[in-house]
Amino acid sequence: MSLLSIRNLNLSIHGTPILSGVSFDIAPGEILGVIGESGSGKSLTAFSVMQLLPDGSDCTGEIALADRQVLTANEPELCQMRGADLGMVFQEPMTALNPVQTIGAQVAETILIHQKVSRAEAMRRAAETLERCELPQDQFPLTRYPHELSGGQRQRVVIAMAIALQPKLLIADEPTTALDVTTQADILNLLKRLVDEDDMGLMLISHDLAVVTGLADRVVIIRKGQVVETGIAATLHQTMTHPYTKALFKASNHQPDRTETRIDAPLLQLTDVSRDYLLPRKAFFGPHPTFRAVDTVSFQIRRGECLGLVGESGCGKSTLTRAILGLEPIQRGQILLDGRDVFTDPDVRQKMQVVFQDPFGSFNPRHKVSRLVAEPFHRLGRGATLSEIDEALQSVGLETDDKHKYIHEFSGGQRQRIAIARALITKPELIVLDEAVSALDVSVRAQILDLLVDLSARFGLTYLFITHDLTVVRAIADRILVMQSGKIVETGDTDTLFNAPRETYTRRLLAAAPKLPA
């Protein structure tokens, strides 16, 4: 018996075809993985089921949820179905939550809308639901706000909102994309447990083959709005027939062809670096307690080397990165770039650039690419020449005419290439890559990794590669640092660290990372 049945679903928006002939089923207690690259139509398939489509949408075909026809239902009927029969977990928990409401009020809201119960009863049931999602009240009271929680904890709140009324079908749209490997494993285990406990159907949308094949029962591959392949998740790597599916598997295991460019001379040296933050006073006239985010960290990066830095969220990676870039003061230690202190000699920072995780968020959308790429020259007291802009764009595989476009006119992979071009334009020696490929599709990620390796060989660049994705760091890094609670707990060359990790924490990270079958 099917819980959700989709037959010949077609969707167009303002006349532009988006989905074409999409058909699949989900049974009670089944996890269906929906895989595809950005723009393939994964999320719009889910929004079609929820009927949360933009104006100008024309949706035809058949969507049946437990024998109820979704496409012919009116808005009051759909409002009753959403939350009670259908729940949805969105990709970014911080934007899915209201920052000015407590987590208790937001989970209770679903209950109050759909059932005639008192506010006290709704809050009691909200507490029970949060407990089911592993947020016990003694540690996470209902009065907490979203900003007081970590990324994984916020995602648990979003899941609690979606399952508060125990819906028949839960749709999870990229629920683990921005999470570190251990938090990702916890969230996936939570979703699996909820499916088993409530006999609930789960549509798991992702671009990560390893995540989906490790959790789902069946898999649907979508490309350009069409289902190109379906199969059993555990055996898809053996039974796949479509070239697109084969290309996804190949890109997921892609290893750039690295050549030896490392020179033994150190470029960046950190010695006993510590960074403290002041906490609120416990008494009005008492001293400020402190929290040590980075604790006596020492390491060096050799010229031409790619050094990976991995660790869970909150371990201090980003704080350490800001200190290296001279954006955060340190309370102890020394940071030298090419033998010069980054704090006492600010001019040396011109030899560093950074590529951020979200390329779209790191650009001003009102400016054209020519101005965006030339931004680093602001520190040099002059503007970039057209030849310098053209050279930077060409070096990352873009056309010179692209400088006349706006950032919204590019795909995610092209935006990341523009971000790398911006980092390259001043010809730096060190580039810090902060989760630079974590939000990209596997095929685009493979292209960006190949580009980084090529640029390192051509220009002798040195990389500090910060990520929570162990598959990526294994593909590109020469050496890896493992960070936990502000300390470097293990370091070693990539092969040694993956094949023979010494520390329990490192082994836990490696065990939590999703893996594709051989």
Tell me the pLDDT tens digit for each residue of 199-256: 999 999 988 888 888 899 999 999 999 999 999 998 988 899 999 999 988 888 888 8
- pLDDT classification of 7: cutoffs 50, 70, 90: very high
Which ranges of 377-517 would DSSP assign to H, the alpha helix?
Answer: 386-395, 412-424, 442-459, 470-476, 494-499, 504-512
Q: How far is it, in rounded angstroms, from Cα 220 to Cα 397?
A: 32
Tell me the pLDDT tens digit for each residue of 404-414: 999 888 877 78
Q: What is the DSSP string of 65-95?
A: ETTEESTT--HHHHHHHHHHTEEEE-S-HHH
- Residue 24, H or E segment: strand 16-26
**Under 8 Å between Cβ of 455 and 395:** yes
What is the model's pLDDT at position 313?
Answer: 79
- pLDDT classification of 4: cutoffs 50, 70, 90: very high
Range scoring the smallest mean pLDDT among 69-73, 180-184, 282-286, 482-486: 282-286
**Under 8 Å between Cβ of 318 and 468:** no
**Under 8 Å between Cβ of 483 and 180:** no
Closest CA to 22 of 36, 38, 6, 33: 6
Per-residue pLDDT for 260 more than 70?
no
pTM of the model: 0.83
Sequence length of the chain is 518
What is the model's pLDDT at position 384?
Answer: 83
Closest CA to 312 of 437, 426, 180: 180
What is the model's pLDDT at position 261?
Answer: 64
**Under 8 Å between Cβ of 420 and 455:** yes
Per-residue pLDDT for 480 more than 90?
yes
| Mean per-residue pLDDT of the chain | 88
- pLDDT classification of 262: cutoffs 50, 70, 90: low
DSSP conformational letter for 382: S
What is the model's pLDDT at position 447?
Answer: 85
- pLDDT classification of 347: cutoffs 50, 70, 90: confident
Burial class (CB in 10 A: 0-12, 13-18, 19+), 141: middle
Burial class (CB in 10 A: 0-12, 13-18, 19+), 381: exposed
State the pairing for strand pair 340-341/332-337.
Answer: antiparallel
Q: How far is it, in rounded angstroms, from Cα 62 to Cα 73?
A: 12
Q: Collapsing DSSP states into helix, strand and coil, what is residue 74? A: coil
Q: How far is it, in rounded angstroms, from Cα 165 to Cα 86?
A: 9
What is the model's pLDDT at position 301?
Answer: 94
What is the model's pLDDT at position 120?
Answer: 92
**Under 8 Å between Cβ of 220 and 35:** yes
**Under 8 Å between Cβ of 56 and 12:** no
Per-residue pLDDT for 186 more than 70?
yes
Tell me the pLDDT tens digit for each residue of 433-474: 988 887 777 888 888 888 888 888 888 899 999 988 888 898
- Residue 438, H or E segment: none
**Under 8 Å between Cβ of 338 and 263:** no
Q: What Rg, from alpha-carbon coordinates, does the chain have?
A: 25
Span 253-263, average pLDDT: 75
- CA angle 459/464/467 to nearest 5° reads 130
What is the model's pLDDT at position 6?
Answer: 93
| pLDDT, greater one: 34 or 179 | 34
| pLDDT, greater one: 412 or 312 | 312
Per-residue pLDDT for 517 more than 80?
no
Percent of the chain with pLDDT over 70: 98
Per-residue pLDDT for 1 more than 70?
no
Tell me the pLDDT tens digit for each residue of 95-144: 789 999 999 999 999 899 988 899 999 999 999 999 999 899 888 899 99
**Under 8 Å between Cβ of 346 and 379:** no
What's phi and psi for 289, nearest 5 deg? -70, 160
Closest CA to 430 of 259, 255, 270: 270
Percent of the chain with pLDDT over 90: 43
Burial class (CB in 10 A: 0-12, 13-18, 19+), 437: buried
Q: Which residues contact 149 (CB under 8 A, 6 or more apart)?
A: 103, 140, 157
What is the model's pLDDT at position 282?
Answer: 80
- pLDDT classification of 488: cutoffs 50, 70, 90: very high
| pLDDT, greater one: 385 or 95 | 385
